[in-house]
């Protein structure tokens, strides 16, 4: 693996961690206000889920 590939991999990992942190923060804020979120599955189907339920299923 070249240094450029390592750099891109590191950057990609940072982006993924930041996105995960932002999603968790959003879910926590919505759960605190007893709200719902619209989520999509791999098939492209959307559904409404209670933020508290989603938060409890997150690791």
Q: What is the pLDDT of residues 1-59, one digit of tens each?
A: 899 999 999 999 999 999 999 999 999 999 999 999 999 999 999 999 999 999 999 96
Q: Which residues pair with 47 in a beta bridge?
A: 39
pLDDT at 39: 96
pLDDT computed for residue 48 by the predictor: 98
- Gap between the Cα atoms of 27 and 9, Å rounded: 27
Give the chain's domain count. 1
Interacting residues of 43 by C-beta distance below 8 A, sequence separation 6+? none
What is the residue range of 8's domain?
Answer: 3-57
The neighbour count for residue 49, using CB atoms within 10 Å, is 15
CA distance linking residue 52 with residue 24, whole number of Å: 11
Question: Which pLDDT value is given to residue 46?
Answer: 98
**Predicted local confidence at residue 5, as pLDDT:** 97
Residue 34 has a pLDDT of: 98
């Amino acid at each position: 693996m070249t240094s450029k590939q390592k750099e891109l991999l590191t950057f990609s990992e940072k982006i993924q961690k930041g996105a995960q942190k932002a999603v968790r923060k959003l879910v926590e804020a919505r759960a605190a206000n007893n709200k719902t979120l619209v989520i999509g599955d791999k098939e492209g189907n959307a559904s409404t889920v209670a933020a508290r339920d989603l938060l409890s299923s997150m690791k």
